C-alpha cells in the first residue's frame, strides 16, 4: 500500500523510514510509554526490527507512519493502520514516544487525521483498536475522536509477569459521518 503524507495544523504523518523504526525501539524501552503497549519490541535486534519494517513496507494491508511535529520537524512517535478488506474494517495503533509531547492534544489530532483519512479513502465500515483498561489518557483521547468502548478482553496480554485486560473500542462509519472533521492536506 502506498503510504500518503497527511498534514494537519500541528502534525505531519508520513511513511516511517528504517532509521526511524530502529530509533523507535528507544521509546518502547521507556517504561512510561511502554507500559501501555501490547508488545516489548524495544528488545528486538537490528536484524529483527529491519525485517519487521521491510515486511510492513511491502504489505498490501498496512501502513506505518512517523508522527512529525510541524513546529520543528522532529519525529515524536509512530502510528499504523491495518486493513481487513473482507470485513471492511481497519485497526489503528499509536505511540507518542517523546515524553515532552504527551498530553498536549497531539495524539487526538493524529487519531482524527487517521480516522478521517481511512473513512474517506478506504472501503471500510468500522475502525477499531484495543487499549489497556489502565490507560485512561488513551481511552479519553479515543473517546474524543468518537470511539466507543464495546467490551473488555480480560487478561488479554501478559507483560512483566502480569495479565492485563484491554477494552475493545471502535467507531462505525454511520457515527463518523455525524462528527466534525479535522482539516488536513494529503499528498500521495
Ligand X SMILES: CC(C)(COP(=O)(O)OP(=O)(O)OC[C@H]1O[C@@H](n2cnc3c(N)ncnc32)[C@H](O)[C@@H]1OP(=O)(O)O)[C@@H](O)C(=O)NCCC(=O)NCCS
User: What is the contact surface with ligand X in residues (CB under 6 A)?
Assistant: 33, 36, 94-96, 102-108, 131, 135-138, 140-141
- Judged by CB, which is closer to ligand X: 3, or 24? 24
Toward ligand X, which CB reaches closer, 102 or 172? 102
Residue nearest to ligand X (CB): 107
Residues ≥6 apart with Cβ < 8 Å to 108:
141, 144, 145
Shortest Å distance, C-beta 138 to ligand X:
3
Write the burial class of residue 173 (CB in 10 Å: 0-12 exposed, 13-18 middle, 19+ buried): middle
Q: How near is the Cβ of 132 to ligand X at its closest, in Å?
A: 7
Nearest-approach distance from CB 3 to ligand X, in angstroms: 19
Minimum CB distance to ligand X smaller for 2 or for 31: 31
Give helix then strand counts, H and E, for the chain.
6, 9
Distance from C-alpha of 124 to C-alpha of 26, rounded to nearest angstrom:
33
User: Min. distance of Cβ 121 from ligand X in angstroms?
Assistant: 22
Cβ(172)–Cβ(153) under 8 Å?
no
Q: Which is nearer to ligand X, 81 or 106 (CB)?
A: 106
Distance CA(47)–CA(40), nearest Å, equals: 16
Amino acid at each position: 500500500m502506498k503510504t500518503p503524507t497527511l498534514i494537519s495544523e500541528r502534525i505531519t504523518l508520513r511513511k516511517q523510514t528504517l532509521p526511524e523504526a530502529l530509533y523507535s525501539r528507544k521509546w518502547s524501552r521507556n517504561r512510561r510509554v511502554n507500559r501501555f503497549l501490547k508488545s516489548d519490541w524495544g528488545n528486538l535486534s537490528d536484524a529483527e526490527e529491519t525485517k519487521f519494517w521491510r515486511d510492513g513496507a511491502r504489505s498490501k494491508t498496512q501502513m506505518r507512519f512517523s508522527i512529525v511535529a510541524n513546529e520543528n520537524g522532529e519525529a515524536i512517535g509512530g502510528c499504523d493502520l491495518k486493513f481487513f478488506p473482507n470485513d471492511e474494517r481497519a485497526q489503528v495503533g499509536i505511540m507518542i514516544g517523546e515524553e515532552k509531547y504527551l498530553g498536549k492534544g497531539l495524539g487526538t489530532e493524529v487519531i482524527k487525521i487517521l480516522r478521517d483519512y481511512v473513512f474517506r479513502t478506504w472501503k471500510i465500515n468500522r475502525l477499531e483498536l484495543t487499549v489497556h483498561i489502565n490507560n485512561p489518557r488513551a481511552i479519553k483521547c479515543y473517546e474524543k475522536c468518537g470511539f466507543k468502548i464495546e467490551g473488555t478482553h480480560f487478561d488479554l496480554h501478559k507483560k512483566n509477569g502480569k495479565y492485563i485486560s484491554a477494552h475493545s473500542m471502535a467507531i462505525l462509519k454511520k457515527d463518523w459521518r455525524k462528527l466534525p472533521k479535522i482539516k488536513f492536506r494529503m499528498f500521495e
